[in-house]
Amino acid sequence: MIRIIIFALLSALFFACSDDENAPLVKPVATGELSLTFDARVGNTDFALDKDFTIGSQTVSFTKLRYWVSNMVLVDTKGTEYMVPDSYFLMEEVGELDLSGTINDKLIYPANKREMITLKGIPAGEYKSVKFSIGVDARHNDNLSLRAGELSIANGMSSIVWMWHSSYIFSSLAGSVKQGSETKTFKAETGLNANYKSMTIDFAAPVNSATAKGVVLLVDVAKILNGIDLIKNSTINAATAPLMSAVATNQATKAIAFGSTVQ
């Protein structure tokens, strides 16, 4: 009787192994890589610091361009969305910044130019558009202790005076403006949860993450300032809420557009 039971168990084990061997293999999901370049420009001219640009009737020279790109989503040709994890990126073109008195007694932020984001390990496929936001979502904006992606107060993109608590600065433009004989320095900053803006950029044609190197998006800095008189409004922040809202809306609806695909 014992021999019969052992034989039955061995037989079951044999057939189970045979079934496993004949079962179809599950193929791993292929991954790809895609770069997104946020090419800063002023009209048709490449953006640069300490260079005079004509915007309307004013001559503007920039010393700083910084903004957060967050919560990126790639949309494929079937409409399937892939949410890029921890996608918080600081885009910037700045000279050396003295952050003393903000988060440390003595802190110098080095000059930096960053226009490209490289998305690695994304599902291989053909993508037709990208969704993202300018700024930081309320969950992270209301609690600077939370960490995700590149979020940090060490880069000076946070404020302790807005809304009586610390929060992130979503975008920051600074420089000087001249009109006629009058010259002023200016700073235009956006922030606060109400100015967290999302957008969708459609590609001219589907982009294959397995073969294409990336996508170039054009960022027209002049359009960020559309309708803003920098001589009359040389300081834009939470104290000038309507102007802050206008700048945030300009950046989300007018300034960023599809440029080209890099093969």
Residue 140: which domain range? 31-262
Give pLDDT, residue 100: 73
Kind plus residue range of the DSSP H or E element containing 22: helix 2-22
3-state secondary structure of 232: coil
11 assigned to some structural domain: no
Taking only the tens of pLDDT, the chain with its 263 residues reads 444 444 444 444 444 444 445 544 444 567 889 999 999 999 999 999 999 999 999 999 999 999 999 999 999 999 999 999 999 999 999 999 988 756 555 688 999 999 999 999 999 999 999 999 999 999 999 999 999 999 998 899 988 666 556 899 999 999 999 999 999 999 999 999 999 999 999 999 999 998 888 999 999 999 999 999 999 999 999 999 999 999 999 999 999 999 999 98
8 assigned to some structural domain: no
Give pLDDT, residue 217: 98
Q: Residues 114-144: pLDDT tens digits?
A: 999 999 999 999 999 999 999 999 999 999 9
26 assigned to some structural domain: no
CB 237 within 8 A of CB 189: yes
4 assigned to some structural domain: no
Amino acid in position 206: P
200 assigned to some structural domain: yes
- Distance, in Å, from the CA atom of 59 to the CA atom of 39, rounded to the nearest integer, reads 21
Number of domains comprising the chain: 1
Amino acid in position 116: M
pTM of the model: 0.87
First-to-last alpha carbon distance for the chain, in angstroms, is: 71
Give pLDDT, residue 1: 47
CB 212 within 8 A of CB 34: yes
17 assigned to some structural domain: no
For the chain, give the mean pLDDT.
88
Give phi and psi for 230, each to the nearest 5: -75, -20
Give pLDDT, residue 244: 97
| Residue 82 structure tokens | 């892939």
CB 180 within 8 A of CB 190: no
3 assigned to some structural domain: no
- Distance, in Å, from the CA atom of 222 to the CA atom of 52, rounded to the nearest integer, reads 12
5 assigned to some structural domain: no
Q: Residues 3-31: pLDDT tens digits?
A: 444 444 444 444 444 444 554 444 456 78
